[in-house]
Structure 1
């Protein structure tokens, strides 16, 4: 039986500062497990929901802080939560109907390219908004030709993602139009995943890092254009095409602000909230 996992769009788009930023929202494992509650059918012989994890390197801190999880179980009307439904359907299409998934993804990127050209806009595509898939290894066939990844089909489009994989070890060979930023993890189960020395190693190898912090800490750090000689930016400037981090000699530090209502695991040090946090984890 062929299930219908169609959604209006795969990509969400925002236009700001002369840039179209298109993002793909998929479902986290916690949400996929409850697919039946959202009225989404599937064949249990083809997929084991308990083993689906599209963000394998996630830590306690980033899982807790991820806005994507907030409010999931606060509303009993699962069938009415259209956003979660759509994300689960997109995920099932990616996992179970991959040919159709890539066909739709290609169609949408082509449409965005046309709009960007017509309106003289830059196009940025982020495929791992709520996942950490190795897109550089996702092969597909389009019009009887095999492609190693979606970036190969669109060499003139800039793709970017944040990742918790060790880029220097596991993701060295990337398409030239695919920028990966290492996402600082902090502590996981009491163990420090990435010290400042680890982060500097990325920066010195021209790999930018992303740091999540409170508004107060973000404003404090952004008072200067550099931090220990590394360029530092509000991440939103990069995501809207206002900053080109690839032109810098070293990697850059991109600051993300933990929005109000974010569920912060204070034992994880994922979100830097105080001067003491900076002293402990960024020095």
Structure 2
């Protein structure tokens, strides 16, 4: 049994990261020469622990966790609950498994001549740049042997892998992420002041629109098609990342989370 499989067995999880093949939109990144692995946790407080501290009523109802096939919902939810509980109950074990899975993902991407990227907040909004942990000695030894560019003196996931591109959406304002961690700010129905502040910092803003109603400009900025690929580090800046609403719950939104294009308050 490999070290990674041994740690997974100890934790009671099959894996933490999903590869690009599990998400059609993420799979589109390959046309940009990028392979993205995604970490999906149980969203909101589904696990009894909060992983989306700035969630609103609208984004909670429209969460992409509920947008997939109902046939897979039970198994998907159980897997994400296991990961989330592991994250809170045994942080070091969780993070050491994650380190080894990222290293494996990078090696697979290299074999396909693709750039390796990682999304840590597929269905969560955790400030990963503040999550410290200790590398296990055997994990550090394996990483030194298999991943020479890893910074083994660091104790935060994105800094251990300085050559890997991390990216996420976030609704938490004021984050100071490392250079290799690209963040796009998420607009909700109740955070316009945060949106304005993040735009002033130079952060792109993601906005959800009804299907067929994505405008060409919003908030005084050009709107790009955020569904063309998932790889946000390649987006021009400044811009609004237009996302079409997904799932029946999202399409039924009445909170204002799904924005009508005529509500461009800053365009005048």
- Which TM class, normalised by the smaller chain length? 0.7 to 0.9
* Of 183, 186, 190, the match for 2:186: 183
Partner residue, 1:235: 226
Equivalent in the alignment of 2:104: 111
Gaps of 5+ in 2: 1-8, 21-26, 138-151
1:201 Cα deviation after fit: 4.3
Paired position in structure 2 for 1:149: 156
Question: Is the 8 Å Cα contact of residues 58 and 188 (structure 2) preserved in structure 1?
Answer: yes
Q: Distance in 2 between matches of 1:70 and 1:31?
A: 16
Mark the CA change 1:282 to 1:22 in structure 2 (over 3 Å): closer, same or farther: farther
Are 1:94 and 2:100 matched, yes or no? no
After superposition, the Cα gap between the structure-2 partners of 1:109 and 1:228, relative to the gap in structure 1 and judged at 3 Å, is same
Question: Of the candidates 9, 14, 38, which is equivalent to residue 23 of structure 1?
Answer: 38
Q: Count matched residues.
A: 237
**What is the aligned partner in structure 2 of residue 36 from structure 1?**
none
| Aligned-residue CA RMSD (Å) | 3.0
**Shift, 1:109, TM fit:** 0.6
Q: Following the alignment from structure 2 to structure 1, what is the Cα–Cα distance between the partners of residues 99 and 125?
A: 20
Distance 1:141 1:4, change over 3 A: closer
Number of the residue aligned with 2:23:
none
Structure 1: segments with no counterpart, 5+ residues: 33-48, 188-192
TM-score (norm 2): 0.77
Aligned to 2:57: 60
8 A Cα contact 1:11 1:23, kept in partner: yes
Distance in 1 separating the partners of 2:104 and 2:126: 23
SS in 2 for 1:20: strand
Structure ranking higher in strand proportion = 1
1:130 is aligned, of 115, 123, 128, to: 123
Which is helix-richer, 1 or 2?
A: 2
Q: 1:252 to 1:142 in 2, by over 3 A?
A: same
1:208 equivalent in alignment to 2:204: yes
Verify the 8 A CA contact 1:61 1:264 in the aligned structure 2: no
Determine helix, strand or coil for the equivalent of 1:26: coil
Runs of 4+ in 1 over 6 A off after TM superposition: none
Q: How big is the shift at 1:230? A: 3.4
